Structure 1
């Protein structure tokens, strides 16, 4: 039985990510718009991706994967994320670089298996008794730390919650107070406290709460009904979360029997089988539903023959996410062999992949992307500066043009200017050169560099 105790105080009569802008594939009424959902251009690739989304939704994509090929900086990662967004806001999206599988203390197959299972979600529905409402006031109680007389520790908190129809003041223990501090709960936030477990969830920002940053907390309506109620709670886990939970339980049992617990480095197969059985049973009872997600593997040409064999088999398993790979290589050797293949990927894997190509951006697309990125970062550009950055993007690369934005903005601000002009762009170009210029520089001084 839980030791969490919440008391009601009776009133007496007398408180930017690189691709975060991607919201979908920019499809309106079945057609891809030139600029929409954070995308600019790449309409052919987005149309292909949208067809993939429809195949997935109709259950016609089993045993397949997606390969996105194209030059660097043409939106391959954004395209993969767009597919995940189109599948639903709760669709898990796990992004890894193929090179990561060689740099960890676990086996390659264990790393890939964890990534696969992190990309599969479980939505569990259950009725719980909760306290829910907007925080009207919050006051923490502190006391002396038992081991350090110079520190204080939180002993509990008194919190006032309100809904449209009710208001209660609660006295909560240290476990809940600590969560309130860690979640940075403040007046105006709408929170929910599970009575049994004491878990605190921040739902969003209430109507009376000030909104300093729209990215921090989303604005939601004030709840209705009583503060204390029985409510259907939707919890979201991944298969990997359940694997780790069961593996830790085994560790606790080992500690009780043998006096020590081993660190969970590799999850045993029997634990994963146990997870699968629990998930199947929960789904069959109608208490949960499976949410297949997307595993995105960038630089797929860095995978070796063993990793490709593992993924080929994983695509056909019962619990499998949508596997999307990306590469900017043409012909390359399959790692671990002397065989050269398209994109450095074995033929048997290529046969299972739907291939989508991205093309280099046009001058019009580069101009629009630079404009959008500047607006996102509140950077004002003169027309001449935008024109110059566009030509830099065409001549060198879009990424290089975007890298010049912030240095030029800082320089313009120091000069007391409200907008970045071409002179600031030219100045920072002399100090930060492009890859093309770097190669030319190395070639010009080749005899002076170390061999």
Structure 2
């Protein structure tokens, strides 16, 4: 009797979820109450009450359409939350509000002119919300059956031919028989019983909205939990599309580039001004007809002192145009030269542009504020800190800098993990601080070994 073969069993190791945590991924808004007063800790923001309340007033001015021709300048020392306030302004304006963040040094490209880089950033910061009414079939999937046939060129492969699907709302139920194109989309979107979808009656395009809350047994689904739609399955639905002016520029420019390539004409990476003019005319026409609306977003330029006199002149003119986003600049410089000139000016910005800016000040954080920020960052990055470790990080944040304290958390977590601990202790923080020094200790090291270092 032959040896009995063992069942093939393989252990699957759990896959660790990779999650990119940004420096400001915890920001949800400005953290203001209904009267515009800043809460001490709210929406991921801590402290800086005066600056946040000022930003709240700016948000209200934007909503009321009173920010035309103006901008915002956020001034303060490094690590005082200037970028966080800019992100908070964008979050307060709405989820679909375009937010473009760039550094002043990004305009110096070898392939594009400075004005072209700025113009593209400005156009990316202005959204166009298109609205159209379409006849759709919308509901929760009650039944789904897909019919397969043999592939015409490969008899061992089956391809979908058609599908029968039953859509259900709280008031209606309808059985549909759809063709091959829609059946393929249903497979690609992995539509199954309990999913809420809608199908465009004219184009056959399938959209997966989410999954019925009653069908979601676990909170690990990639799709959001939604309620069952009401009304008829077949209905007229308002469809909203969000694009930026830059998206439309690129689409129009691509059409022209295809023709130019066919005729053997040279293709440039810059978008011609007449293309943008045509896009503006089309958008204005759609806005006047009520089929679209403009959504002014936020263009945030950090290290604004890195811009030169030409860039400042361009921004001053752009702020006065009809289609302009909300310009938010940030800098940590005092009196310094305007780049490209020998003229000194506050923050390195020309006075004619400064006159058009609302200036918001940020101040260094207190020990209590630093402690709360570290708690939020530890929670966001899933780093368990002991009370002593938190106090040590707070002390380092006060004596050295907040950024230094935040940067030490991950090395301290790795050191704790190596020692078999699940929580970061004060010893881990102190050890991490020995391995990774701050700016002050780095300068002392340079001075100590000045003669041995290359000059």
1:300 aligns with 2:299: no
Q: Which protein has the larger Cα radius of gyration, Structure 1 or Structure 2?
A: 2
TM-score (norm 2): 0.85
Cα distance change on mapping 1:195 and 1:359 into 2, 3 Å:
same
Cα distance change on mapping 1:18 and 1:206 into 2, 3 Å:
farther
Q: Is the 8 A contact 1:156 1:175 kept in 2?
A: no
Q: CA deviation at 1:298?
A: 0.7
Q: Deviations over 1:254-283 (max 9, x none)?
A: 455x2x475461111111111111111111
Q: Is the 8 A contact 2:126 2:296 kept in 1?
A: yes
Q: CA deviation at 1:178?
A: 7.1
2 CA distance for matches of 1:154 and 1:105?
A: 47
Q: Deviations over 1:256-315 (max 9, x none)?
A: 5x2x47546111111111111111111111111111111101110110111000000000
Task: Please list every run of 5 or more consecutive structure 2 residues that lacks an aligned counterpart in the other structure.
Answer: 1-20
Q: For 1:27, which of 11, 29, 32 is the aligned residue? A: 32
Q: For 1:79, which of 70, 80, 85 is the aligned residue? A: 85
Q: For 1:337, which of 334, 341, 348 is the aligned residue? A: 341
1:450 aligns with 2:454: yes
Q: CA deviation at 1:222?
A: 2.5
Q: Is the 8 A contact 1:176 1:198 kept in 2?
A: no
TM-score (norm 1): 0.85
Q: CA deviation at 1:34?
A: 0.8
Cα distance change on mapping 1:145 and 1:239 into 2, 3 Å:
farther
Cα distance change on mapping 1:32 and 1:123 into 2, 3 Å:
same
Q: Deviations over 1:167-194 (max 9, x none)?
A: 656656569847974x787776544444
Q: Which residue of 2 aligns with 1:277?
A: 281
- After alignment, is 292-301 or 378-387 more displaced? 378-387
**RMSD, aligned α-carbons:** 3.0
- Secondary structure of the 1:27 match is coil
Q: For 1:128, which of 129, 134, 140 is the aligned residue? A: 134
Cα distance change on mapping 1:360 and 1:175 into 2, 3 Å:
farther
- Secondary structure of the 2:301 match is strand
Q: Deviations over 1:16-43 (max 9, x none)?
A: 3332322221111211111111100000
- Secondary structure of the 2:390 match is helix
Q: Is the 8 A contact 2:73 2:360 kept in 1?
A: yes
Q: Is the 8 A contact 2:162 2:179 kept in 1?
A: yes
Q: For 1:98, which of 104, 111, 119 is the aligned residue? A: 104
Q: How is 1:100-115 mapped onto 2 (pairs within 5 angstroms)?
A: 100-115=106-121
1:286 aligns with 2:286: no
2 CA distance for matches of 1:443 and 1:82?
A: 41
Q: Is the 8 A contact 2:261 2:267 kept in 1?
A: no
Q: How is 1:285-434 mapped onto 2 (pairs within 5 angstroms)?
A: 285-434=289-438
Q: Deviations over 1:404-430 (max 9, x none)?
A: 112222322332323211111112222
Cα distance change on mapping 1:184 and 1:243 into 2, 3 Å:
farther
Q: Is the 8 A contact 1:248 1:264 kept in 2?
A: no
- Secondary structure of the 2:129 match is strand
State how many pairs are aligned: 428
1:56 aligns with 2:62: yes
2 CA distance for matches of 1:359 and 1:263?
A: 49
- Secondary structure of the 1:446 match is coil
- Secondary structure of the 2:271 match is coil
Q: CA deviation at 1:209?
A: 3.5
